[in-house]
């Protein structure tokens, strides 16, 4: 096995892991405030990418205007989702609220391609395809930039949770009824979480959309993102970053090392094995907080 190939795979894998982690961070954001695993996160990424496409291609704005604009619109959409759907689920069994997000995922998957057309859309974010070559190693420029943007956004959200508003959001995630009882506007906190999460989804959607084109399949990002979120510990944003990099690295290396041996795409298999083993050793993910059990 060629060492420089492994290094190349490792570097690109780490960056792609960060891009996955950005989708996961949106899931964690909502989980941390409302205890709900948002199954519509992939669909939000898809919707955000479509929004950026509307701005960039339909209206003709430059991408650096269209993408932030799409993020702003998506913040509003996130807040509206809280207002008209999630708010009514407060105090209801969590699994039902999670199911609701799944209904939303199906709905968004029908809405955007239905209105804008199902064929793949192109979004150009102006990153040239020409790679950066360091000696024998090729670094994918899109992954590099995408990974760095993701990293920056994840760090920003870590800082956010240590602010005063962040403390309130964490309180809401612990006990919504108790939060209400001491005057916290639970709905507003959750709406902010949804809005921010939609912004992260939009960023992720645009980054991924630039590589694979925009169509419904962007919503499939959910599965991997959920896996990373759970591996990191559903309520830890640093955990997500670490888990994202681990999954990205391992998948990338597995493709290089194990695939030729077993003659099949071992990526998902290895990722699944890591998740299983981690959960058996650490049932709350890498950095997830432990459930405090009192009878």
Partner 1 sequence: MFYRRAGIRHTSYRSERRLWRLPFDRGLVVAVLIVLLILPLVVDRLYLVGYLLPWVIWSTAALGLNFLMGGAGQVHLGYGAIIAIGAYASAHAARFGVPFEIAMVAGGLASAVVGSAFGATALRVKGLYLAMATLAMQSIVDFVIIHVPAISGGGQATLRVPPARFLGIDLTEDVRSYYFVLLVGIVVTLFVLNVGRSSFGRALAAVREKDYAAAVIGVDSFRFKLLAFWVSSFIGGIVGALLAFCYYRAISPDQFHLDLSIQLVAMVIVGGLGSILGSFFGAALILFAPILLNQAVGALAVSSGLGISADLRAHLPLLLYGAMIMGFLLIEPLGLAKIYDNIRNYLLVWPFRHAPR
Partner 2 sequence: MSLLTLNNIEVVYDSVFLAVKGISIEVPEGGLVALLGANGAGKSSVLKAISGLLRSERGAVSRGQATFRHENLLALDPPERVRRGLVHVLEGRRVFEHLSPAENLLAATTMHRDRTRVTRRLDEMLTLFPRLAERANAKAGYLSGGEQQMLAIARALMTEPKLILLDEPSLGLAPFLVDEIFDVIRRINAEQGVAVLLVEQNAVAALDLVQSAYLIEQGRVVMSGSAEALRANPDIQEAYLAGHNQVDYHAVKHYRRRKRWLA
Partner 3 sequence: MKRRTFLTAAGAAFVGLQIPIRNALADDKVIRFAMPQDFTRVYTFVTVEYSQGQRDYISLVNAKGGINGYQIVADISDHGNDLPRALEAYERAKAQGAILVDPLSTPVARALVQRAAADKINLITAYSGRSDAADGETFPYVFPLSPNYWTQAGLLIDYFRQQDGDLKGKKICFVHIDTPFGKEPIPILEALAAKQGFSLQTFPYTPPGNDQSAIWPQVRRAKPDWVVFWGAAVGQTVALTEAIRNGIPMNRVASSVWLSESDMDVVGRAQATGVLKVEPCASGQSPKIIQDIIKTVIEPAKGAGDRAKVGTAYYNYGVMMAALMIEGVRKAFEKAPNGPISGDWLNAGLNAISNFDAEGLIPPTTVTNTDHQGGGQCRIARWDGSKFVPATDWFSANQDVVWGEIKKSSAEYKASGK
**Residue numbers of the site for partner 3 (CB under 8 A)?**
2, 5, 8-9, 12-13, 16, 109-110, 113, 117-122, 124, 129-131, 138, 140-143, 208, 211-213, 215-217, 220-221, 251-253, 255-256, 259, 263-265, 267-268
Contacted entry of partner 3, partner 2, partner 1, none for residue 180, CB cut-off 5 to 8 Å set by kind: partner 2
| Binds partner 2 by CB under 8 A, chosen from 47, 142, 176, 202 | 176
Name the one range near partner 2 by CB under 8 A: 67-75, 142-150, 164-172, 193-201.
164-172
Q: How many Cβ atoms sit within 10 Å of the Cβ of residue 157?
A: 24
Q: 200, 153 in Cβ contact below 8 A?
A: yes
The rounded radius of gyration (Å) of the Cα atoms in the chain is 19
Considering only residues 186-215, where is the footprint of partner 2 by CB under 8 A? 186
Nearer residue to partner 1 within complex by CB, 43 or 168: 43
Query: What is the rounded (10 degree) CA torsion for 255, 260, 265, 269?
Result: -70
User: Rounded to a whole number, what is the distance in angstroms from the first to the last CA of the chain?
Assistant: 54
**How many C-alpha atoms does 134 have within 13 Å on its Cβ side?**
9
Please identify, using beta-carbon distances, which residue of 195 and 209 lies nearer to partner 3: 209
Closest contact distance (angstroms) between CB of 93 and partner 2 is: 10
Site membership for partner 2, residue 90 (CB under 8 A): yes
Residue 34 and residue 71: Cα distance in Å, rounded? 22
Tell me the two tokens of residue 217.
Answer: 């399949």
């Amino acid at each position: 096995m060629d060492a420089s190939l492994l290094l190349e795979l490792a570097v690109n894998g780490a960056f792609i892991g960060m891009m996955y982690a950005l989708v996961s961070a949106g899931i964690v954001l909502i989980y941390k405030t409302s205890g709900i695993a948002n199954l519509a996160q992939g669909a939000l990424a898809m919707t955000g990418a479509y929004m950026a496409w509307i701005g960039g291609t339909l209206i003709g704005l430059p991408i650096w205007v269209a993408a932030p604009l799409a993020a702003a619109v998506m913040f509003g959409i996130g807040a509206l989702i809280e207002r008209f759907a999630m708010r009514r689920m407060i105090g209801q069994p969590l699994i039902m609220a999670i199911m609701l997000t799944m209904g939303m995922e199906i709905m968004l998957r029908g809405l955007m391609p239905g209105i804008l057309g199902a064929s793949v859309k192109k979004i150009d974010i102006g990153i040239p395809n020409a790679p950066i070559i360091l000696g024998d190693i090729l670094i994918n420029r899109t992954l590099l930039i995408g990974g760095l943007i993701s990293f920056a956004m994840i760090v920003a959200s870590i800082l956010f949770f240590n602010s005063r508003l962040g403390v309130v959001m964490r309180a809401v995630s612990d006990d919504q009824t108790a939060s209400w009882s001491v005057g916290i506007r639970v709905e507003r906190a959750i709406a902010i979480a949804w809005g921010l999460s939609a912004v992260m989804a939009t960023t992720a959607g645009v980054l991924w959309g630039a590589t694979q084109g925009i169509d419904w399949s962007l919503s499939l990002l959910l599965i991997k993102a959920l896996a990373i979120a759970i591996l990191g510990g559903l309520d830890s944003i640093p955990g997500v970053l670490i888990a994202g990099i681990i999954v990205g690295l391992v998948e990338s290396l597995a493709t290089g090392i194990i695939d030729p041996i077993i003659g099949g795409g071992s990526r998902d298999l290895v990722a699944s094995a890591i998740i299983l083993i981690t959960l058996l050793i650490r049932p709350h993910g890498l950095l997830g907080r432990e459930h405090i059990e009192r009878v």
